[in-house]
Structure 1
Amino acid sequence: MTRFAEVVHHEWIAAAPAQVRAQFADLDHHVQANVHPKLRFEVLERRPDGARFVQEVSLLGILQRDVFERRIAADGSIDDLSVEGFNQGGSLRFRFEPKARDGQAGTEVAITIRLPLPPVIGPVIEPLLRWQVRKEVQAAALEDKFDLEQRGYPAAAPRMVAA
């Protein structure tokens, strides 16, 4: 049975849920605006309800390349499943909930990352991997927050691609 290291992060963003969902789903925008400088994306296939894409990231000094299948649900939530690569079987989940903060409307984004652990050394590296993933997901969430709040991501309808 595969064990997973799981990290959950919540980020409040001062933007409407539809705009936040659109930005998170828009891989072309992420690539063109270099929203996440530490990540590399390549879209392999676009579908009305998601995409198939490659993501490369370095964790614990190891370049990790994965092919993800993305599903965007009717409510705008996003589920990415690694179907090939270093973290095969791992997943990223994005949930969006309207939430006001200090009287300002916005969106609470819940990000859950699950990465498979190697059978033998998994328990040994799990705390370090969770720490590294937590650090990286916090940085990525702040990059999306900056993109939406400061750069001003367009409020256009999502183009249904992966982010």
Structure 2
Amino acid sequence: MRSQFGKNGGWSRPDAGNLEQVSEAIRRNVRKLGPILLGIILVLLILSGVYSVNPGEQGVVRTFGKETGKTGPGLHFAVPLVQKVNVVNVEQIRRIEVGFRGKERVPSEALMLTGDENIVEAQVIVQYRVVDPSKYLFRLRDPEQTILATAEVSLRSVIGRTT
């Protein structure tokens, strides 16, 4: 039985005249594909700027690194390569443990000296919620470490005054 594609499965070596036709066809197709590829890239770039903020969250928009606004729950758009959005959960109750981590003790935080020079071990859980996401994100390098240090200092101060 004879193949419908001819010899070599339809593949044949083009002759010199045919080679020019092939190269011209490739050039024409590349010219047609250029705008299509550019359009696809442009659509993908625009879609990369779409973001969502869930209920209970707040978005902080930065344009060229400077804070320019806040967004609430919903679907939003940020200009790609120009704007960046940080989303913070403002309803979540966060907790920091002072004097322990899970079941492990942290003696450097837990052991404290009272006013009558006795040593006590104190363990505290600090619960907090983010009220202003801008301050939470950009005013402190490590907000959780700052809250931990502040809670420890406050606890030591109160325990140090008691006898």
Taking structure 2 as the reference length, the TM-score comes to 0.23
Higher relative contact order (CA 8 A, sep 6+): 1
Structure number, greater radius of gyration:
2
The structure that is strand-richer by fraction is: 1
